[in-house]
Each structure stands twice: as C-alpha cells, then as structure tokens.
Structure 1
Amino acid sequence: MRNLTNRVFLLYIILVLCVAVFAVRAGYFSLFTEPDIPVVVGINRIPSLRGSIYDSDGKLLASDSIIYEAWLDLGYLRLSTSTEQIEKVLRNIEIAFGISYQSLEENLHGTRSFMLLGTSPTNEEMMRKITPLTKRYISLEMQRERLTFKEYGLDRIIGSLDKGGEPLNGLELQYDEILSGKKDGLIRRTLTGAKREEPTNGSDIYLSIDIDLQRMVYEELKKTVEKNMADGGLAILLDSKTGKVLSYAGTYNWDLGLMGIFEPGSTIKPLIYSLALTVGAINEEMTFSCDGRIQPVPGLNIVIRDVEGERHGVQTFREAIINSCNVATVQVGGKIFNTLGRNEMYTALEKIGFGRLSGVDLPGETPGIFPQASTWSLISPYQFPIGQGLGVNIFQMVKALNVFPAGGQFIVPTFLKAIRNEDGFVNVPKKVDGILFSPELVATMLPVLESVVLNGTGTLAQVDGVRIAGKTGTAQKAGLGGYNEETYYALFYGFFPVENPSYTLYIMIDTPKAGVYYGGSVAAPMFASIVKKIYGIDVEKEKYEGIFGWKMPDLTGYTLIDVNEVREIYGIDKLIVHGAGKVMRQFPESGHPLEDYIEVWLGVGETDGI
C-alpha cells in the first residue's frame, strides 16, 4: 500500500513539474503565432511613446521611434537542449545576426541569463532572422528610441535623455510632465487569439522656434565670430509682442547664454535713462556736460572716461543715448542715487530684472550678479548705469530691453507655443510680469533709439527700407585683477520695424580680436545681415531636412490620416494609395532614403508586429 502511495505522489510531482515547464516555455513562445505552435500564452509590453517636439511651423524636431530588440535566452538554452542542438542553434544565430560563434559560446558559458542579438527599426526585418530552430530561444522586445534634430544649436534648447529615457536638460526636462508617456500598452496572447491594449502616449509640444530663422541666426553668428576672430558669441531673437523666442543661438560647448554671465555695457543705458525719467531724477530738458572724463566720487581715485576720451560737450538725454556718452550717464546715475537712495535704487534696478531670474522656460538659468545694496561700494551707483559691476545673462537683457517695442510690457521670454493632446491644440499665451515703463515714456524713447541707428553709434545696423531702433554696447571684460583693457564684449540690441515692432534681437560677440571690438562695428553689421535675410533681401531659401531627412520611417499600421501627416512633415508632395484600412506595405521601405513620393498599400489584418 505504501509503495502505491509513493508512486501516486511521484506521478503528482512529475505532473506539477511538467505544467511548470510548459508555463515557462509558453512565456518565451508568446512572441510568435506561427501555425506550427498552436498554443501560445504570454504578454508583451508596448512602450508608451514620448510626445514629439515641433517647431512653430510644424516641422519635426524630436520624436520617439520604436525599435525591436532580439534577446537570446541563455538560461533556457543551457537547460533544455543537447550539446549538438546548442551548436546548431548558435551556428544558426551566427549566420542570421552576424555574431561570431565564439562570442555566442562565451556568453552561453558565462553567468548572464540573456544576450542582446541585435536591433531593427522594423518587426519584419527581425522576424526574418529568426528561424524555426531558434525561435523558441529568442524573444523580441519593443523599445523606444529618441531621435532629435541637434543642428544649429538646437541641442541646448531641446535637450537630451539619458539611456533610461529620463530627461537631462533643455525643454525635454522643462516639459517632461507633458511629453512623457503615461502608460505602456500590452499585447495579451491567449490560447484563442491576441488582444491589444494601446499605450497612452505623451502629448506633443510646438515651440516658438522657427527652424529657418534658427539656422540663419546660428550661421550668421558663426560667421561673425569667425570673421572677428572672437572667442564665441550669443544671439537671441524674440517676437516683440509676445516674447516668444524665435531663435536662440550660441557657439559655445555649454549654454553660456543661460548659465553664464557677461556685463551689459552701454546696452543698459536706455533702461537707466528710462528709470531716471520715471522717478523724476531727470527731465527731458536737462543737459549734461561731457569733457571726456569724470571723477564720480570726490577723493576717490576712480575716473570714468568716454570711448577714446571723446568729448561730447553739452548733451541732452537724447544726445547722450545716441552718442552713448558715459560721462553724461554717470551723472544720471548720481541723480538717481540722490533721488532714491541706495536701497530704493537697488530695488528699482532689481525690478528691471538685474539679479533675478528672467523666468525663461529653460531649466538651469542663473540670476546673474547684482550686489545687494548693503554691499555697494562708493562707486557702485555710478558704475551700474554704464553696465559695469553687474553680470547678466542674455535672457535678462532681452527681456528688459524688449519693453520698448512691447509698449512698456515686461514680457517673459518663452519657447512653448502650443500643446497638442488627445483633445486637440492648446495655445500657450504670452507671460507678462507687469508694466515696467509707461506707454508715454516708451513713446519718448522710441525715436531716440531709432536715432542711434540713423546717426549715432549704430549706423552699421541700417537696412534700406526698414526702420530699425537699437543700442550699441562695448563692455570691458572683468577679471580677478580688475578690467582687462584688451578684451571686450561687442554688443548690439535692436528691434524692427519701428512703426510696428515684430522682432527684437540681442547679440553678444565675445572678445573680438581682428582689430575692431566696438559693438557698433562688430555686432551691428550682424544685426543688419539678419534683418536683410528676414526680409528676403538677396537671400536664397534653403530646404529644411529635419531629423529624419535621410531615411523613411516605418508606416506599418498607420491610418491614411497619419500617412498624410508624415508626408507633410517631410515636404513630400505626392502620395499613392492602394486599398483601404491601415498600412500593410510601403515604398520607400522603412530606413531607406526618401523619394519624391510615398506609395502605401492599405488593408485589414494583423499589423501589431510582435
């Protein structure tokens, strides 16, 4: 009786083990539905996709693409086959995937459980490499791959992801909550069929960046830096009315415009004179005497000079701005200081944006350097008005100076134009930090800034037929031992057209060494060149290539609406359609060079891939 009981128990154990082995093996069969394996059970993950990023015209700048990975189950291969069978499997894989037999054998005898055999942008290509002999040991996984257009300095704007798909910087990080996929999908394989649960993908975002303007500004900046043998440069172009960033370019290998600082030099002067008029420190009839030099603090051996000691004589506030007179501006700084006192002068300058974040929607901005009132030296109230003794980033300066074309509104520079989710488009309005100067004061300043370009220090920014206003700047670079008389920032700020401002542009060229270094001689010509190209003066338009400009994406499973969207993104005019339903076949094939037309064959059937 005892022997019978033992036999029954042994048979029970064997039966349990058989069921367990079947369940384990079924999990690896789950990716295949060929007729010779009629019973298939398992679950496959469909990764949710990160939202795409487009420029202002809908040109694709960043997008997720599905890639298919083939994994060899080394543990299963070790346990379930003979030595002869293992050799056949490895030889088969060697031929199909181009991996040496020696490498496969070394991995098999190692401690790893799985080995990546290869990746492909299409499921079909990967399935062709898997034979009846190897398919029970190979599983396919879908992963996402982020493709980003990184030319023309866009990499620092868009940002990047780490190997795990987590955002590291740029707008990818800033808007991660919007872009990131919300929930992965599943393909559930049962004994009777397959059920697909679609993933919940992230939302798309549209930037204010115009890729054509971005390329043009970036190339003009590089050209100016090279021509003037400079260390580098920055440029930012805004929509004057909304503060939306149309182009942001830099030639450095890090984001100096956002995270670094420079002294603003004379580009600060329109803000100083506007502040002086606003608080009543000066009036429009007041004049200032300039003999080329001034000692702001009696008894303090610090003398501030005009460029090359130029004597401007008697200056009105308008003439002082047009001629960029340092001596007059130092006097104005003294009058602001006497009117407001140290603490209120500090508060007034901080309100203009010095020492605080601009609010731009890029992570990592530095607030610049603006000393607390309690730490000011005797010379500080006279240095700040000529752009010395404080450090700014380019977003702070363009935000502050954009108040003139924006009618006094203090508009935050932003990159996000719209969000597209399952409910459609949501436009993102401009962000206003209030009114910095009154419309009446702005109306007073506009003709002054236009005169800077017409007959002042900014004449090289002129463009026939376009009314331009602006301000030059030349700032000595400060170091540990004080100011260096041989290194400068060449600066120019301007907006156009004056009668209805649409564009605001700020340019910084770092340490030009080709002879001239003044903002009016180095940065102003670049400004004029950009204006000409925006208005199409003697300019040939170049075709945007985009992030997939060299290859065709996989359209399998796309609807006709989806295919048309792809066609528009790639600028392909002709679409040839056969049948109805979803895409089953396409030309050009996925990964192949683009042609001047797309041809698709539609149908109804299994397009789930894996």
Structure 2
Amino acid sequence: MSDEQDFQARAARGWRLWLVFLLLLLIAAAVAGKMLSLNVQEQAFLKQQGDARVLRTAVIPAHRGMISDRNGLPLSVSAPVSTVWMNPKEFDLHNASINKLATLIDSTKSDLLKRVAQFRDKQFIYLKRQMTPAQAEQIEDLHMPGVYVDREYKRFYPAAEVATHLVGFTSVDGVGQEGIELAFEDWLQGVPGKKLVMRDLLGRTVKHIRELEPMVQGKDLQLSIDLRLQYLAYRELKAAVQAHKADSAAMVVLDVHTGEVLAMVNQPSYNPNDRSNLGSDMKSLRNRAVTDTFEPGSTMKPLTIAAALMSGKYTPDSVIDTSPGYIRVKGNTIRDHRNYGELDLGRIITKSSNVGVTKLALSMHGDAVRNVFQNVGLGQVPGTGFPGEQPGVLPYLSERQKVERATMAYGYGLSVTPLQLAQAYLPFATGGLVRHVSLLKLDRPEPGTRVMPEKVAREVLEMMETVTQAGGTGRRAAIDGYRVAGKTGTVHKVGTGGYADDQYVSIFAGVAPVDNPEIVAVVMVDNPKGQEYYGGEVAAPLFSRVVGGALRMLNVAPDNWQPVHTQMVMK
C-alpha cells in the first residue's frame, strides 16, 4: 500500500471516530437536556402524578353531640365503629384470604364473589358497616388489595326502650330519623373534616400529611326529663297496660314551676339499639304523648267550672239542681250515673255530673267555655318542636249549637293530646298561670301567662281534691302523705258506627301536692279490655304510684302526714 493510500485510510478512520464521538456527544446532550427538562419544566407535573398514586384525601368523621337527661345521664351517645368497603376494580378474585374475609363480614365466599362480579365496573361498595374496631382490625390484617377500612360512629341508647319515643334514633349514616334526634338534627350533627394522607399500594394509611378542612363536633343537648322518673313511669305504665290488656298508653309528668317535661313514656315501645323487628310494627314508633289525640271527657269539667267562676255568675257555694239525673237539650238526653240532686260547684266535680256542667255551660256566653279551653293551650300546637306534635281539635260553636256546647263542657266534641291536657292543668297548680312546656332543660323558668285569677285557680284546685277523697271518682289516685287533686275521665271510643259501647279511653289528670304544687301529671290508657275500664280504676292508681314515687325522689316534703286509709275511716 502506498503512502498516499495509507494516509487516506487513516483519515477515514479518524473521521469515523469523530462521527461516533459527535453522536455520543449529541446523545449525552439529549439525556442532559431531558434530565434538565424533567427537573425544571416538568417537575410539578411529575410530582402531581407521583402524589396521585400515594396521596389520598380522607374524611375525618365528626362526633355527633350527646343527648343527656337533666342530671347529665346519657340518653344517646356515639361509639366508634368501623366500616369495611371495597374497590371491585382492585380486588383479586383469586386471593387466598377470600374465605376469611367472607366469614368476617357474615357472608359466604360465593355471595361475596357474586357481589364483586355484579359491581365489577364500580369503584366502591360497602362490605360491612358499623363493625367493632376489633373485627375491622382482623380484616386489615388480611392485607387484601381493594379492601379498605374507615372509621365512623354508631349511635347507642343507654336507656333503650324507656326513653326511645322521646329521644328517637338515627339512620346508619348518623342522620336523625325520629324524636329529638330528628328535631335537633342541625344542632347535634357535626361537620366532617378532610385530611391528606399517604397510603401504600394496599391502601393502608402510612402517614398523615396535613389537615385540609377542620372537623366540627356536634353540640350536646340536655333534655328536661329526669331519667329516674322516666324509668319509674315506664315500668308502671308497662305493667298497667299488661294488667288491663290495653291497646296502648301514654303518661306525661310536668314540673309546675318551669313547665319542663320530667317524664314522657308510651306503650307499646321498642329498643332503638335493635330495630330488626320494627318493620312489622311501625305503630310502636309513635310518641303518643304528643301525636295521638283523644276526647278528654270529664277531665274538662274543672275548666268548665273555672269558666263559670270567672263569668261572675257563680261562686263555689252556688247550687245547681241536677234532678232528675238527666237533662234534655234540643231533643238529646244528657245523663248522670244517677240522680245527684242539688250540687254545689265542688260536688259537681266530685260526682262528675254531666247535668251540672251542662247547665253551667248553657247559662254562660256561648264562647265562655271555649275561651278558657283555648287560653290554656287546647286546639294549639304546644310548640316543643317535637316532630309530628298535634294541635288537637277545638271547634268554634255558635250560640245555636247548644248540644255541642253542652258536650264540649264535659269533654266530648274536642280532642287533645296527653301533653296538651297536662299543660291545660298547669294553671290550677300555678295560681292561674299557663306555661310553655319544654322538652329541654331550662336555665331559668320562663314567665307564665295569666289565664285565670289566682283565687279561681285555688278554688278549683281544692274542689278537685275532693275527687281523690271519700265519695270521689278518683279515690285510688290518693298518695300517702300528700294531698292530691285531680279528675278522672272515661270516654267511649269512636267506632265505625259512632261511639262504641265496649271500647273506652281511661284518663286521669292531677296535681300534687295541693298545699304547694310541684307536679302535674296525665295518664291515658287506650282501650283497656279487662274487667276494669273507668279512669278511676285504671288510670288513677297508675297516677298514684308514679307521682308518689316522683315526689319522694324529688324530696318534696309531705303536706298531709296522715295515712290515706286513716283519713277515709275518719271521714
């Protein structure tokens, strides 16, 4: 090879080396440029993509406010529980722990796989809600992709069926459905927060990054009821319903000085902690003390007597001739149980004379009786805020509707709830003042509204005391050591063809003690089917047991030291 050819060969090799070097330099520059681009221009995008695979927004569950009685005893509390859910798209159908998972959520492998197949295109299904944290921890320990555990709260009711009609209950999502839980939903319900967390590939939270939105706890609520009195009233009411084979019953106990509801119980009842059987018996949900109306019967007679005294036409000593034991009003006969002859106003209440109150009502202005009824709260919603509370019925009557005016005077042709009737009796205990009734504990008593003179209220109260004494219709409402005033009522129920001859509502409304009233209580027993059905036989003894126990629990001093049986013998 000549020198010239050798030189050309070396030159070609050198050119190729420089070309390779140049290519390597260009590749290095491209790699460096891409690295620079990734770290400068696309850094935010890459970080976002990375975070999207490990960072999640988690809900901070809010604690619902506690409901308690007037002494701070819990009636409704929230307990921590766990909810297990699944992302079907992430779930491995061949995971070795499927049998264990199915067992922990009270299912079978085949049912679980069917659910997963049914919602395979979804990203969320519940597997089991409101599990105990210990059960949920066992599921977490399975480390199954697509299966997650969240924390939440479940409502628990320590008093169970004793206070359920008043307190109500929440749904599985913690939203009020009945009672106070529903009425004060906005107050009790908290606002969940949000937080940023880091999760691994199995969805487990490995780090809490920061809080995005603060969680706001629900506010607590203190009711007016005294749980001790509530238990007492519930026990006695349930026993009375069973003994008299009644369809239902309700009782309300009010604090005279404040109008607060100290006890409110109903039968039949249910356990809010186990509502599995409620679907077949929805009637048990009703708080009959505020939603069910009935004709009050003879419990209206003291109010009619008060209207007579307020009219100025009568005094307590005024005498009404009820002979011959009945009266004809526009072709209709109104009867007493027997001919009581001449009765003063007090004896009209004692003997529960329909003829006596009829003559009084028809002798007054047409609106005189109705005005008193309206002033004490009848025909109006009590305003407690309880869902479904009823106003009852208080009709307007013209002067010509004499029969209707007469029957209204002794409690027919209008309707009330047990709570309304209790409120209507407050003026007899407060010296003529009616108070708003409250289901919440009050910091201070609200001023009452005067609806009758104090003298009239006291006179009628003393007349009602004779009902519980010898010769009265409510002797079994008497309480050892205390003076008791009240009125019985026995009302025929309305059937398909008018008033039924063999179905009754038994009622007793009363005040104790008479000397310095502390409690007003009303008992209503619907359709007792035993041998006893009069208000003095069914409702009055129940009043005696509950109110007697309540007075002793509240440390109310006796105002009548003599035993009841001794008084009756002396009289």
Q: Are 1:378 and 2:402 counterparts?
A: yes
Q: Which residue of 2 aligns with 1:341?
A: 366
Q: Deviations over 1:368-411 (max 9, x none)?
A: 12222359733111111111111111111110112111221111
Q: State the distance in 1 between where 2:501 and 2:437 align.
A: 33
What letter is aligned with 2:524? M
Aligned mate of 2:86, from 72, 90, 99: 72
Q: State the distance in 2 between where 1:273 and 1:132 align.
A: 76
Q: Which residue of 2 aligns with 1:359?
A: 383
Aligned mate of 1:448, from 463, 466, 470: 463
Aligned mate of 1:475, from 491, 503, 521: 491
Q: Which residue of 2 aligns with 1:145?
A: 154
Q: Which residue of 1 aligns with 2:266?
A: 250
Q: Which residue of 2 aligns with 1:126?
A: 136
Aligned mate of 2:335, from 294, 305, 308: 305
What letter is aligned with 1:386? Y
Q: Which residue of 2 aligns with 1:264?
A: 296
What letter is aligned with 1:263? E
Q: Deviations over 1:321-363 (max 9, x none)?
A: 1221111111111122xxx235x65444322323222223312
Q: Which residue of 2 aligns with 1:200?
A: 216
CA contact (8 A) 2:376 2:423 kept: no
Q: State the distance in 2 between where 1:378 and 1:270 align.
A: 20
Q: Which residue of 1 aligns with 2:68?
A: 54
Structure 1 range deviating more: 482-491 or 232-241: 482-491
CA distance change for structure 1 residues 104 and 286 in 2, over 3 Å: closer, same or farther?
Answer: closer
Aligned residues: 497
CA distance change for structure 1 residues 77 and 457 in 2, over 3 Å: closer, same or farther?
Answer: closer
CA distance change for structure 1 residues 348 and 401 in 2, over 3 Å: closer, same or farther?
Answer: closer
CA contact (8 A) 1:66 1:121 kept: no
What letter is aligned with 1:203? K
Counterpart mapping for 1:276-287 below 5 A: 276-287=308-319
Shift, 1:428, TM fit: 4.0
| Secondary structure of the structure 2 residue equivalent to 1:320 | helix
Q: Deviations over 1:145-204 (max 9, x none)?
A: 2222463442221122234333223111222222121x3233333798633565211111
Shift, 1:266, TM fit: 0.9
Shift, 1:288, TM fit: 0.4
Q: Are 1:529 and 2:545 counterparts?
A: yes
Q: State the distance in 1 between where 2:165 and 2:153 align.
A: 22
Q: State the distance in 2 between where 1:147 and 1:225 align.
A: 27
Q: Deviations over 1:11-42 (max 9, x none)?
A: 99x99998676434313xxxxxxxxxxxxxx3
Q: State the distance in 2 between where 1:266 and 1:486 align.
A: 18
CA contact (8 A) 2:266 2:287 kept: yes
Aligned mate of 1:63, from 77, 84, 98: 77
Q: State the distance in 2 between where 1:320 and 1:389 align.
A: 20
Q: Which residue of 2 aligns with 1:557?
A: none
What letter is aligned with 1:379? V
CA distance change for structure 1 residues 94 and 19 in 2, over 3 Å: closer, same or farther?
Answer: farther
CA distance change for structure 1 residues 393 and 18 in 2, over 3 Å: closer, same or farther?
Answer: same
Counterpart mapping for 1:304-453 below 5 A: 304-307=334-337, 310-336=338-364, 340-342=365-367, 346-373=370-397, 377-417=401-441, 427-432=442-447, 434-453=449-468
| Secondary structure of the structure 2 residue equivalent to 1:475 | strand
| Secondary structure of the structure 1 residue equivalent to 2:503 | strand
What letter is aligned with 1:116? Y
Structure 1 range deviating more: 136-145 or 172-181: 136-145
Structure 1 range deviating more: 138-147 or 311-320: 138-147
Q: State the distance in 2 between where 1:450 and 1:92 align.
A: 70
Counterpart mapping for 1:95-244 below 5 A: 100-109=108-117, 110-118=120-128, 126-131=136-141, 134=144, 137-149=146-158, 151-181=160-190, 183-189=191-197, 194-196=209-211, 199-244=215-260
Q: State the distance in 1 between where 2:129 and 2:287 align.
A: 34
Q: State the distance in 2 between where 1:171 and 1:510 align.
A: 25
CA contact (8 A) 1:508 1:523 kept: yes
Q: State the distance in 2 between where 1:91 and 1:232 align.
A: 48
Q: State the distance in 2 between where 1:224 and 1:92 align.
A: 50
Q: State the distance in 2 between where 1:481 and 1:100 align.
A: 56
| Secondary structure of the structure 2 residue equivalent to 1:233 | strand
Runs (5+) with no aligned partner, structure 2: 1-22, 199-205, 269-283, 554-571
Q: State the distance in 1 between where 2:172 and 2:139 align.
A: 26
What letter is aligned with 2:350? I
Q: State the distance in 1 between where 2:207 and 2:162 align.
A: 53
Q: Which residue of 2 aligns with 1:586?
A: none
Q: Which residue of 2 aligns with 1:567?
A: none
CA distance change for structure 1 residues 274 and 108 in 2, over 3 Å: closer, same or farther?
Answer: closer
Q: Deviations over 1:490-545 (max 9, x none)?
A: 211112122221121111122223223221122111122223433569xxxxxxxx
Q: State the distance in 2 between where 1:184 and 1:43 align.
A: 13
Q: Are 1:466 and 2:474 counterparts?
A: no
Q: State the distance in 2 between where 1:100 and 1:146 align.
A: 28
| Secondary structure of the structure 1 residue equivalent to 2:253 | strand
Q: Which residue of 1 aligns with 2:321?
A: 289
Q: State the distance in 1 between where 2:160 and 2:315 align.
A: 49
Q: State the distance in 1 between where 2:413 and 2:106 align.
A: 63
Q: State the distance in 2 between where 1:132 and 1:274 align.
A: 75
Shift, 1:273, TM fit: 0.6
CA contact (8 A) 1:296 1:330 kept: no
CA contact (8 A) 2:366 2:399 kept: no
Q: State the distance in 2 between where 1:97 and 1:261 align.
A: 45
Shift, 1:51, TM fit: 0.6
Q: Which residue of 1 aligns with 2:57?
A: 43
CA distance change for structure 1 residues 368 and 118 in 2, over 3 Å: closer, same or farther?
Answer: closer
Q: State the distance in 2 between where 1:411 and 1:165 align.
A: 34
CA contact (8 A) 1:412 1:433 kept: yes
| Secondary structure of the structure 2 residue equivalent to 1:449 | helix
Q: State the distance in 1 between where 2:467 and 2:321 align.
A: 20
CA distance change for structure 1 residues 231 and 292 in 2, over 3 Å: closer, same or farther?
Answer: farther
CA contact (8 A) 1:153 1:251 kept: no
CA contact (8 A) 2:140 2:149 kept: no
Identity in percent:
26
Aligned mate of 2:522, from 487, 506, 510: 506
Structure 1 range deviating more: 89-98 or 155-164: 89-98
| Secondary structure of the structure 2 residue equivalent to 1:470 | strand
What letter is aligned with 1:520? G
What letter is aligned with 2:180? L
Q: State the distance in 2 between where 1:137 and 1:240 align.
A: 60
